[in-house]
Structure 1
Amino acid sequence: MKGGSNVAPVIIKKKKVVAGDGHHGGAWKVAYADFVTAMMAFFMLMWLLNATTEKQRKGIADYFSPTIAVNRVSGGGDGSLGGTSVFSENTLPKVGTGATSLHPTRDVAARGAITAPDSGAGKADMAKLEEALLGRGGESVLEENDLRHVELRLTDEGVTIEIFDLPDAPLFTDGNRTTPLLQALARGIAAAANAVENQIAVDAHTRSVPLVRSENPVWTDSATRAGVLRDLLTGAGLDEARFDRTTAHADREPVSANPMSERNNRLEVVFLRP
């Protein structure tokens, strides 16, 4: 700059701007939204647990974690996947050589392969028994309070009606003496059995007893209870010729994690597949 000039010097200032200064940008909003969403999901879960029954909760759990039963007669296909996709039918396991339960081949039919649990005949029997026993199509043969002790399911053997103890309502008292509850359940099952013509099997299960006892009565109790239920069913009008077997399982197949739980005391009436 020349000396003696009256022009003021120009000064340029550079200000460094830091991003996110003050409130750290919008990241906190995303974190807060995730937190609120998680809390909403948690409270919805708590509400569902309180507003649904045990059967409904089991149905929801099975929906999100489905299981696939493997048939005892199983094998490969007549080529890659037997010419079909593994998701093309309701039953995923293959039966025999390139066949499924919905479309069996001649080789499978000749061998007499076992049908899958969800076959049409089994579903039809299940629907008839549900309609008669639970009153799905009209009046139920059981009181609403008694239905707490009843569970129906479709298995490889056929349709199973399971009746079981609850902590405040046992099926037997003083050893193997029947209660009015069991007698009412037997009358209802006998009435519902008229809806189908299947042969019947009776299975009995008991809970474990403390090992300090000198004798373990679980085998004797389960055998006696299976016979008692058969006698109750025949006494209620069920034809004795329809019974195929009675089986005592003792405490070998508990359904509860606690082997001494009352829930393990149960009787099963199985309507066998033809």
Structure 2
Amino acid sequence: MKSSTPVIISRKRKKKKHAHHGGTWKIAYADFMTAMMAFFLVMWLISQTTSGQRELIADYFRQPLKPSMAKGDKTSLSDSMIPGGGNDLTKSDGEVAKRKLTEEKRDKWMENLKRAKDKLQKLIETDPRLNNFKSNILMRLTNDGLLIQITDSPDRPMFRVGSEKPESYMNGILQALAPLLQTLPNKLSLTGHTDSLPYAGGEGGYSNWELSSGRANAARRVLVQSSLSDEQFLRVIGTGSRMPLENTLPENPVNRRISILVLSKAKEQEIRLEDTRMQNPVSTLDGIVQRNVQGYTDGYE
């Protein structure tokens, strides 16, 4: 006889536990957010600084030996117990005062170069020797000084093809620039450039190296004959086709150009020290390290 009592069957399901993922992603995300915060903070701080202050910051990172030589506690080699200070706690003397003086000097020569650029821009508009070649004259202010470039165009070369001899209108451009350059106390660096089209004789014969340096020296002669003192030139060099303009093909005619750099005091000192550093790097190290403080204090008035 079958029992009338129902049979109850109970089934128990085992719950599967999810794998433990950990919290490493949170650390990575926090690091990312911290880095982004630091980046935007740095960008904001840079926007609040003057051009002189930005250059001092750049010099700090260009000279990593300075903190180590100062035993890591400051960015200076002063004997003062107060980092960045001097014997006078009012900061009327010592490194803080020198740094302020440096910034003032830098701002002053930058303003002088800006005025020179404005004068040249007005001269280009009024002088027919320059006005007809506005598209061939490029100007911009850089940390190294005021850069003036006289470029070729496909239909109007500044020098005779393959020659160091300037065209008559190139002579006119240089003669128009000479009086303005003469009024500036800054030294000049004059550089010749060519495009990348090679000579048939190859690099072993007469090449773009000789052509660029010859054209630079020919431009110097025209400027000197136009009343500019030869003593104002600090260097005259040719770089061949090695330094094309940004965003241009090396064979582009615009790369055939003469660059006149009205040197900042800092760049002038850097050029003058190039050979000295190579000949005696140990003895000049101290001067290089302290460049932030005293490199510009004797800038042009």
How does the TM-score come out when normalised to structure 1?
0.58
Q: Equivalent residue for 2:158? A: 171
Q: Is the 8 A contact 2:241 2:250 kept in 1?
A: yes
Aligned-partner Cα distance in 2 for 1:265–1:143: 18
Give 1:164's aligned amino acid: T
Q: Is the 8 A contact 2:124 2:134 kept in 1?
A: no
CA 1:200–1:108 in structure 2 vs 1: closer, same or farther (change >3 Å)? farther
Q: Is the 8 A contact 1:134 1:140 kept in 2?
A: no
Q: Equivalent residue for 1:224? A: 214
Q: Equivalent residue for 1:49? A: none
Stretches of structure 1 lacking an aligned partner (at least 5 in a row): 1-79, 100-104
User: Aligned Cα RMSD in Å?
Assistant: 3.4
CA 1:160–1:231 in structure 2 vs 1: closer, same or farther (change >3 Å)? same
Q: Equivalent residue for 2:240? A: 250
TM-aligned CA deviation for residue 183 of structure 1:
0.2
Structure 1 residue aligned with 2:146, among 152, 159, 182?
159
Relative to its length, the structure with more helix (as a share) is: 2
Aligned-partner Cα distance in 2 for 1:141–1:251: 30
Are residues 1:200 and 2:160 paired?
no
CA 1:210–1:218 in structure 2 vs 1: closer, same or farther (change >3 Å)? closer
CA 1:272–1:86 in structure 2 vs 1: closer, same or farther (change >3 Å)? closer
**Which is further off, 236-245 or 169-178?**
169-178
Give 1:209's aligned amino acid: L
Are residues 1:127 and 2:100 paired?
no
Q: Equivalent residue for 1:190? A: 178
Q: Is the 8 A contact 1:128 1:195 kept in 2?
A: no
Aligned with 1:207: secondary structure?
Answer: coil
CA 1:222–1:197 in structure 2 vs 1: closer, same or farther (change >3 Å)? same
Using the aligned pairs only, state the percent identity.
19
CA 1:87–1:248 in structure 2 vs 1: closer, same or farther (change >3 Å)? same
Aligned-partner Cα distance in 1 for 2:123–2:130: 13
Structure 2 residue aligned with 1:266, among 257, 260, 269?
257
CA 1:137–1:209 in structure 2 vs 1: closer, same or farther (change >3 Å)? closer
Q: Equivalent residue for 1:144? A: 131
Aligned-partner Cα distance in 2 for 1:254–1:225: 16
Q: Equivalent residue for 1:180? A: 168
Aligned with 1:230: secondary structure?
Answer: helix
Aligned-partner Cα distance in 2 for 1:137–1:173: 23
CA 1:141–1:119 in structure 2 vs 1: closer, same or farther (change >3 Å)? farther
Stretches of structure 2 lacking an aligned partner (at least 5 in a row): 1-40, 61-74, 77-83, 85-93, 266-301
The size of the alignment, in residue pairs, is 183
Aligned with 1:190: secondary structure?
Answer: helix
TM-aligned CA deviation for residue 140 of structure 1:
3.8
Q: Deviations over 1:51-108 (max 9, x none)?
A: xxxxxxxxxxxxxxxxxxxxxxxxxxxxx97xx9343224457253499xxxxx9279
CA 1:140–1:271 in structure 2 vs 1: closer, same or farther (change >3 Å)? same
Q: Deviations over 1:87-140 (max 9, x none)?
A: 3224457253499xxxxx927958x98x79x84312322322431x22269844
Are residues 1:106 and 2:95 paired?
yes
The structure showing larger relative contact order (alpha-carbon pairs under 8 Å, at least 6 residues apart) is: 2
Are residues 1:240 and 2:227 paired?
no
Give 1:88's aligned amino acid: Q
TM-aligned CA deviation for residue 264 of structure 1:
0.5
Give 1:163's aligned amino acid: I
Q: Deviations over 1:149-207 (max 9, x none)?
A: 11111122211111100111111114222101210111011022133111111011110
